Structure 1
Amino acid sequence: MKSIGMAIMKRAVIFVVAALAPLIAHAGCSDNLQNWSARLHPDHTLDATHAVCKVWPANAALTIGALPLMQKGSADGPNVVDIEVVVADTATGAIIAHRFQRSAIRYAEDHYFEGIDLDTARYQLTSTQRAFGVRLKSSGGPPADMSGIATLSLYLIDGQHLRTVLDRLIVSDWTGDRDGPCTSISETSRTLALGPPDTQGYAVLRVSEKYVERVNRLEVDKCSGHTSPAQRRNITLDYRDGTYRIPDAMRNAD
Structure 2
Amino acid sequence: MMLPYLRGVGQIMLQNNAWTGALFLAGIFYDSVIMGIAAVVAVVTGTLTAKLFRYNEADIEAGLYGFSATLVGVALTFYFNPVPVVWIAVVLGSVAATWLQHVFISRGLPGFTFPFILVTWILLYLFLHVYRPGAAASVAGAMPVSDDFTTATNGFGEVIFQGSVVAGIIFFVAVFISSPIAALYGVCASLLGAFISLQFAEPAPDIHMGLFSFNAVLCAITFAGNKPRDGIWVLFSVVLSVLLDVWMLQQHMAVLTFPFVAASWITLALQHLLQKMGIRIKD
User: 1 or 2 for the larger relative contact order (CA 8 Å, sep ≥6)?
Assistant: 2
Give the structure with the higher percent strand: 1
**Considering only CA atoms, is the larger Rg found in Structure 1 or Structure 2?**
1
Give the structure with the higher percent helix: 2
TM (normalized to structure 2)?
A: 0.28
